Chains A and B, each alone.
Chain A
């Protein structure tokens, strides 16, 4: 099974070619302004060193920061309509109320608030008013808007109102692309609505990006099906991923953690991914990143959905060091490392310079840091150690020592041993762990929903059914699916058997189903 994994970051585009679990080739090159030529070049580069070129590639997995960048840059988003079905509750806090002004202005949504939604126990808050929704739909149509986010009160408990409203909207706007908040978010109306709105605004970009990648692959002579990596460390068929761009928000660090798990052959432990500007610390549980259970801000917008639990710290290869106070960061020279750092002939003292002076890595011209004082070097290395130890400890869930995997281009900054860690594991190809994480990904389906009025077993079974269906839709082979996470919590303060069930299933890619336009691959097998 041959796969190419590509990670398109803001600074670098990394690519790896793997055959089975063997890394055939890897490359790291600067991300190009047009993004796509970087992708074409990186694919060409890894294929060049493929000794088995006659066998075509089976799949390409791409991780991209495109969608997060669009939100951060307030650019390339489409004007959505945002329909909230919760009136008369919540009237004083309309959609997007807590967004940064510039982002709200950038997407300028058409907001419709209508009656309906449910209570925590499944009773309707108010009967849904179909005529009201029809009128709203006509206003949306007249404004020429085709992307719509629908959020109903307590929809993670029952999505009935959202589905009915979507049907009415489709009657009036046949080409509408609709995001239902219940498919993405959790309890927490504003945060769920925020995610649904971002998703709707990004769908156009999602399709555009997927089309561009598709063209880039063809230009590179690759005709395999391709997938986009997701926040949870799995992939979805590109066409499915284009519908849900928010699921790709955190795929960079997630891929890095998955790659680290793959390279270290470790399923549980801590990963520190040291980049140029910052490091991300995360936990691996069963080979996947631990999920955050709290509000995560994206571009200043509060969101609550499945994102990896990451602790970013201001430590990277380009982190600026103060020679007087020995203070490390948090400022960084970032992508200017190869001009600004002392070892590259620049004039800024960086963490990389200290590491070169300490003799733990050879980069640039070591002579340029020979003048650095031993006490300065030792002092800064000690500060880096404390910074790592403190933050790793914050991410632990118990006092037990853990195994730490050092990943990323700046992994050399991680000392050989750290307090609270039973060992520090170094991995080969650490610089392209993210592309590797993409290449080896599987497909998942998940559900995080409140079920009420069902016995526990029935609720779990229903949840698993939904999760499996979602995995198959995303491209998984049904017969390979297994449950990797199942959790259920009865909800406090609420009578009537309400329980929140969270189930995640994972399985292999169904290649039979996804081989569109790839007759040659079959022939070669």
Chain B
């Protein structure tokens, strides 16, 4: 099914994407503003079920790449995302059937919509993470061993570049990162194109619908003065593992990542030990008494316990009242192959992944 993506769905998508960002992924605010502007100008996006893709359809996988700080000055613009798609079509001499997001968590959830609004191509209801992760190889497409090139990159001055061939996903990350830095640390990218068959087999499906649903359910609960956390848990089949107060935050920037940990204590003294939440851009593992409570790839979301709004690893601070909520991870991330890319060991934690959802 392909249907119009309604204007009223933009804000819920942004709220849901921010929650699915699991602490990272960058704020969707500027992308959200752009999409509202395009809708005001009469543009409309269409959302397409992945099942509707033919096996040999070509799908463009989009994201904005760069440093968040630069994004606050060089504001995201749909034109360049759209151009990265056209540039790729020219390079391949093939036409895309649709566009999709590489990650549904954070601002990049909206990137394919920005391009789609200008290109008259539908957005596939899918992504390649089901959440947010910091690096290019942490996708379901990498887990599936799919081809990692070519990549097109476009900046606002009309600079266009391609990475036409690399031997691995990690090299794609390095080379494209260097190009991006040269043009000012912000650029629109169209990643290695996918076929309809690849999207259907390796993509994480229906995540746009999931994000909009999460956003709607949290907003509705807020409007009706119901507990937004409980509403979210019911909606996604999630688990609340802790509710309490942030009592300490320790961060450092190393190797281009924001790493650190936050301590959360029970709000009322009940003899329970505090929960220690470790992050690397996103929330990665939570411990209590040295024992892991939950780890990646399970989606660890920290939410304001009253408002239900997501709290990022950059903005968490002492005194906040938070609920730590876990949303089930997509199956592909939990597979043996998937855990090699996104399990706790991929982030330097020597421990096995055990889902909080398996008793």
Contacts and interface: CB of A to CB of B under 8 A. Distances in A.
A92 B78 contact: yes
A187 B30 CA distance: 15
Contacts of A93: 30, 33-34, 37, 75, 77
A92 B34 contact: yes
B69 A89 contact: no
Contacts of A187: 69, 72-73
Interface string B42-83: 000000000000000000000000011110111111110000
A92 B75 contact: yes
A440 to B, nearest CB: 30
Contacts of B291: none
A157 B217 CA distance: 42
Contacts of B145: none
Contact of A97 (B33, B74, B185): B33
Given A92-B34, A93-B30, A125-B184, A120 B70 contact: yes
B33 A89 contact: no
Nearest 7 pairs of A and B residues by beta carbon:
A493-B67, A90-B75, A89-B156, A92-B77, A394-B319, A119-B184, A492-B253
Contacts of B317: 397
B168 interface: no
Contacts of B34: 92-93
A154 B319 contact: no
Contacts of A188: 72-73
Contacts of B30: 93, 190
Specify the main secondary structure of chain A where it touches its partner. Answer: loop
B256 interface: yes
**Residue of B67, B258, B315, B319 with most partner-chain A CB within 10 A:** B319
24 contacts: A86-B73, A88-B158, A89-B74, A90-B75, A90-B77, A91-B156, A92-B37, A92-B38, A92-B76, A92-B77, A97-B33, A98-B33, A120-B69, A120-B70, A121-B184, A123-B184, A126-B157, A153-B73, A393-B245, A393-B319, A396-B319, A492-B258, A493-B67, A493-B256
A97 B37 contact: yes
Given A92-B79, A119-B184, A493 B69 contact: yes
Interface of B: 30, 33-34, 37-38, 67-70, 72-79, 156-158, 181, 184-185, 245, 247, 253, 256, 258, 315, 317-321
A493 B255 CA distance: 9
A189 interface: yes
A491 B319 contact: no
B74 A492 contact: no
Contacts of B76: 92
A517 interface: no
A494 B69 contact: yes
Interface in A374-399: 393-399
A188 B69 CA distance: 8
Contact of A89 (B77, B181, B245, B258): B77
A395 B318 CA distance: 8
B285 to A, nearest CB: 22
B319 A120 contact: no
Nearest to A97: B33
